[in-house]
Structure 1
Amino acid sequence: MRMQENKELREQLIALTEMCEMSSIIDPELFSKYSVKRGLRDLDGRGVLVGLTEIGEVHSYIVDDNEMIPVPGQLRYRGINVEQITKGYLKDKRFGFEETTYLLLFGHLPNEEELKSFESLLGSYRDLPDNFFNDMILKAPTKDIMNSLARSVLALYSYDDEADNTSTYNVLRQCLSLISRFPTLAVYGYQAYAHSHLGQSLYVHSPKPELSTAENILHMLRPDCKYTHLEATLLDLALILHAEHGGGNNSSFTTHLVTSSGTDTYSVMAAALGSLKGPKHGGANIKVVHMFEDMKAQIKDWTDDAAIEDYLGKLLNKQAFDKAGLIYGIGHAVYSISDPRAIILKEYAEKLAHEKGLDDEYHFYTKIEALAPQVIARERKMYKGVSANVDFYSGFVYNMLGLPLELYTPIFAIARISGWSAHRIEELVNRGKIIRPAYKSVAKHTEYIPLHERSDIEEAAK
């Protein structure tokens, strides 16, 4: 009887789904007719200007005589080129994520005393409330750590006596607490999942206040808590490169959007996490890893250019991997000639690959990076060039670090919470109006039909 009920329910849902889809279709020509910028993007790919920010700047083209001319990509945090930021702290053989977070939040680089005090402050926030792990994480483990992270963030609302206070002082306190706790929440979420769903031993290492964010991730994740300096350095670098990307990326815009309603910090960050989780945004590096697994299985000789180009062509023609017609990790919505994050990450990925004995795999990645744009140029008409984006190498780096696939996108969130925090405070301080873009209704006006006069649902729909 139960199976029959399930079959009937499924058939009912299938019929409702068809009607739901039919009632949701909008004639594509109407978007052009009413000059609707789908995705808030112009036809030339530029984003529609919806706000101002001093936090991050993405630069990929210049305009000359109203013509967009692509240039090598640049990413600036508070006006400083991220390439200079990474070179600066790496020269001192330090970790830089905490310094970068300070820059994003407060608008200037800290001096030695300010940095030391800030690192100490972040360290003091790393521990979770008493019994939080048992009550909020371990009792309801989920395979999607982004959902676990969002649920934990919302749960922290209940532990905050000033949860709804949106003063700058209180929001900064909340943001610093979340920045510090995101690594713990993400790693613990994974440990609970691995224990409950994969049957692995449960490791719960407390974060150490004296360690950097990158070091704490590796310390809490690995059973023996051990890691090399190069491993921590590369993870720290990845965090910096993912910390901010202007106010227009989907999750940062979500932060501005939800903040503008006047809601609390925990709700805002949970919404940003939901945005970042999507495969079109933060989940993209997982697609790159899966693509390369399939590619390595199909291509026996990683030095064979012809075999590689043949496979890439099949990807574009929906004949290989997920048949989506995409080469994941190649191309970006903004960058064309180069993604500065990919360039920086690539250099240190080579060092880690050498340390791990994975030189051949690294060279395979670089060969794909070189050949993919050529294949795309032959197969597709492009209004701009394409290059490797940060996701192309980040998945490779995380794999070399032994990070589980389930933590790839949460690592992105651990980094981007710094940028989200800066954007939330920027929105609040400037006291902007609630963000409410217009949607034009194109539905035909009809009259209400009394229930007893309706012949059936399909007739009413007509």
Structure 2
Amino acid sequence: MGNRENYAVFEVTPEIEAYAKLCEENNAIDKELYTRYEVKRGLRDLNGKGVLAGLTNISDVCAKKIIDGEEVPCEGNLYYRGYNIKDLVKGFLEADHFGFEETAYLLLFGELPGSSQLKAFEEVLAERRTLPPTFVRDVIMKAPSRDMMNSLSRSILNLYSYDSKADDTSIPNVLRQCLNLISQFPMLMLYGYHAYNYRRGEDLFIYAPSKELSTAENILMMLRENRTYSKLEARILDMALVLHMDHGGGNNSTFTTHVVTSSGTDTYSTMAAAMASLKGPKHGGANIKVTQMFEDMKNSLKDWTDKEAVENYLEDLLDKKAFDQKGLIYGMGHAVYSVSDPRAEIFKQFVKQLAAEKGYEKEYALYEMVEHMAPEVIARKRKIYKGVNANVDFYSGLVYGMLDLPASLYTPIFATARIVGWSAHRLEELKNVDKIIRPAYKPLTPYKAYIPMGDRG
């Protein structure tokens, strides 16, 4: 069969180029038509407000308040089941315990657990940190992918084959499946990562998770060959998981969860679809883009403290002259928040402390400069309808880098957290809605008479 990378169907041939040109010519739609027909592109209006497509009890993203009868932007807040994320994080940090398991209980079941409830739930998750016999050998170790999100999606879909009740969409069975996946996710992620590295010639080590450790601790333990980590590292990773766990029902991957669930399909297919959404660089993959952008910036600047040089680089980004020529400053701006992203604010409180301990003071200073400077540069160069601020992805990549997490795991770490939110939303959709989600698209092509083959020229 030859080398997979040289397999002929993976090449863009001249014939494919010609077909692609036809695709572009016959799929182009005049942008003005979207305005004429009042199409809410991205299911959002010009101010970033989403089209109301459903109801949820799970989480709320608040970025506006009513003053004198008008909506005005305000400091961003995120609520899980009505509890402010800032209060939740403060609570488990002051109590000196990990927050992932407690917050997962809250999102799935709608209330904060008592100490005995939390202990029992932690035991439920710990018992499910296992994979079917030979799964690692037969699935994960075979044809490992260089992309960990694809590796994870394949593993999730393969778990369907091991589940005798895979298609049962009753609430108890779906909850069982979701709890399994939440518990198994760190193993699927890290074993896939180690398998790919082994194929590249590195040493292979596969560690079983510990029932005594938290989710964050298990991730760090299974990732590192020496199994060691500091308390600070585990606490910050745990906090990152909590901050990424859910973000309203309208974010792309969670909306995907609702859409796919509404079709009546199984849990494994639903989660794989959500994974495909989260992988995108405009969604969960954004933190990798932020770190890549900063690496390019650091390599381009002689002096990281030169404000004029940093400003010029940011302008070059927007003018499509720097980095990936996409015209974007990654990590800046959000579909909902216009004043502040509460997750970024919480992250930032710990970034400076971690930077000092890890010797990243220069990098932190550069990030902070860009955070303050970018909104001004964007306002000068772009017509914007709402404020621009640093989002959670702006600092998360820096934090993961300081935790010595490989870049290929940045988005899977996000998914490890967000699968809790997806699970909660899948259960909510199954409980409350029995209609398949099917929005409308306006056709623009006029009807045509069929042309016989002999008359087509």
Name the TM-score class by shorter chain.
Answer: over 0.9
Q: TM-score normalised to the size of structure 2?
A: 0.96
Bigger Cα displacement from structure 2, 366-375 vs 224-233: 366-375
Q: 1-side partners of 2:295 and 2:11: how far apart?
A: 40
Report the Cα offset of residue 55 of structure 1: 0.4
Letter aligned with residue 162 of structure 1: K
Q: 2-side partners of 1:194 and 1:323: how far apart?
A: 31
Q: 2-side partners of 1:454 and 1:378: how far apart?
A: 52
Deviations 1:69-111 (A, max 9, x none): 1100000000000000000000011110010000000000000
Confirm or deny that 1:292 pairs with 2:294. Answer: yes
- Give 2:131's aligned residue: 128
- Give 2:264's aligned residue: 262
Deviations 1:225-245 (A, max 9, x none): 100000011110110000000
The match for 2:23 among 12, 20, 39 is 20
The answer to whether the 8 A contact 2:47-2:386 is kept is no
The match for 1:54 among 57, 73, 79 is 57
- Give 1:231's aligned residue: 233
Report the Cα offset of residue 68 of structure 1: 3.5
- Give the secondary structure class of the aligned counterpart of 1:127: coil
- Give the secondary structure class of the aligned counterpart of 1:320: coil
Confirm or deny that 1:102 pairs with 2:102. Answer: no
Report the Cα offset of residue 377 of structure 1: 2.4
| 1:401-440 equivalent positions in 2, closer than 5 A | 401-440=403-442
| 1:30-49 equivalent positions in 2, closer than 5 A | 30-49=33-52
- Give 1:119's aligned residue: 122
The answer to whether the 8 A contact 1:283-1:409 is kept is yes
The answer to whether the 8 A contact 1:96-1:237 is kept is yes
Q: 2-side partners of 1:392 and 1:121: how far apart?
A: 34
Letter aligned with residue 103 of structure 1: L
Report the Cα offset of residue 296 of structure 1: 1.0
Report the Cα offset of residue 42 of structure 1: 1.3
Bigger Cα displacement from structure 2, 93-102 vs 429-438: 429-438
| 1:5-404 equivalent positions in 2, closer than 5 A | 10-64=13-67, 67-197=70-200, 199-404=201-406
Report the Cα offset of residue 66 of structure 1: 6.4
Letter aligned with residue 409 of structure 1: T
Report the Cα offset of residue 28 of structure 1: 2.3
In structure 2, the CA distance between the partners of 1:240 and 1:320, relative to structure 1 (3 Å rule), is same
- Give 2:3's aligned residue: none
Report the Cα offset of residue 8 of structure 1: 11
Letter aligned with residue 219 of structure 2: I
Q: 2-side partners of 1:440 and 1:63: how far apart?
A: 34
- Give the secondary structure class of the aligned counterpart of 1:60: strand
Deviations 1:162-201 (A, max 9, x none): 100111100000000000111110111111111113x211
Bigger Cα displacement from structure 2, 267-276 vs 344-353: 344-353
Q: 1-side partners of 2:339 and 2:119: how far apart?
A: 38
In structure 2, the CA distance between the partners of 1:281 and 1:356, relative to structure 1 (3 Å rule), is same
Report the Cα offset of residue 65 of structure 1: 5.9
Q: 2-side partners of 1:325 and 1:265: how far apart?
A: 37
Report the Cα offset of residue 452 of structure 1: 2.7
Letter aligned with residue 235 of structure 2: T
Report the Cα offset of residue 432 of structure 1: 3.0
Letter aligned with residue 449 of structure 1: I
Q: 2-side partners of 1:406 and 1:7: how far apart?
A: 22
Bigger Cα displacement from structure 2, 382-391 vs 91-100: 382-391
The answer to whether the 8 A contact 1:105-1:418 is kept is yes
Aligned Cα RMSD in Å? 1.7
In structure 2, the CA distance between the partners of 1:380 and 1:440, relative to structure 1 (3 Å rule), is closer
Show structure 2 runs of 5+ residues with no match: 1-5
Q: 1-side partners of 2:444 and 2:417: how far apart?
A: 41
Q: 2-side partners of 1:167 and 1:74: how far apart?
A: 34
The answer to whether the 8 A contact 1:234-1:349 is kept is no
Report the Cα offset of residue 338 of structure 1: 0.5
Q: 1-side partners of 2:69 and 2:86: how far apart?
A: 29
Report the Cα offset of residue 38 of structure 1: 1.2
Deviations 1:402-421 (A, max 9, x none): 11111111011000000000
Report the Cα offset of residue 63 of structure 1: 4.0
The answer to whether the 8 A contact 1:243-1:416 is kept is yes
Letter aligned with residue 23 of structure 1: N
Report the Cα offset of residue 354 of structure 1: 1.6
- Give 1:459's aligned residue: none
Q: TM-score normalised to the size of structure 1?
A: 0.95
- Give 1:460's aligned residue: none
Q: 2-side partners of 1:161 and 1:306: how far apart?
A: 62
In structure 2, the CA distance between the partners of 1:8 and 1:438, relative to structure 1 (3 Å rule), is closer
Deviations 1:348-379 (A, max 9, x none): 12222122122222222112211212222233
Aligned residues: 451
Q: 2-side partners of 1:9 and 1:52: how far apart?
A: 44
Q: 2-side partners of 1:177 and 1:240: how far apart?
A: 19
Q: 1-side partners of 2:29 and 2:66: how far apart?
A: 34
Q: 1-side partners of 2:17 and 2:376: how far apart?
A: 43
Bigger Cα displacement from structure 2, 5-14 vs 404-413: 5-14
**Identity of matched residues, %:** 60
